[in-house]
Structure 1
């Protein structure tokens, strides 16, 4: 019985912090592209959209079925330079754009081969 209870608690705490769904990546990705352009780091039309990569780093369940999502985006321009950006925003199962997107540049201007 103790083993069952311990296993249940471990799995339930894991599931409350893990969300593998990445359907809400477009909202923070688009805001990050606009931010890169507004900061005059790179123009959106210079980006190679096909090479854009993203990864959901963390998703914490909050009250009211909302999540705090943290993504890593790697944008590449047409010359091969890479721009890595971390975003944080609040989403839900019904709405991806509940909050503004906090954007942090973690690296940029490195050549990708």
Structure 2
């Protein structure tokens, strides 16, 4: 019984040290900053020298307004894609109708 308790305690310690060894990275580049949680907001920064700069401090969250710091240069915009990938509706076949079924209200 005491041996069993020691084995359990030793196993718990091994699990704890295994969890402690997995170190999280110091930084991460987010490609979609709208996915930032409150705890991350104070650590967010935008690249220096980028064309669009925030008007107010972005660490407060909410709606972020930006100003164009290179307004005299031509702007390159990316065309929006539909959710689910770039497919054309005319390329897709029409779905087949569902199989017949009987509806019972029980």
TM over 0.5: no
**Structure number with higher relative contact order (C-alpha < 8 Å, ≥ 6 residues apart):** 1
Q: TM-score, normalised by structure 2?
A: 0.28
Higher strand share: 1
Point out the structure with max Rg over C-alpha: 2
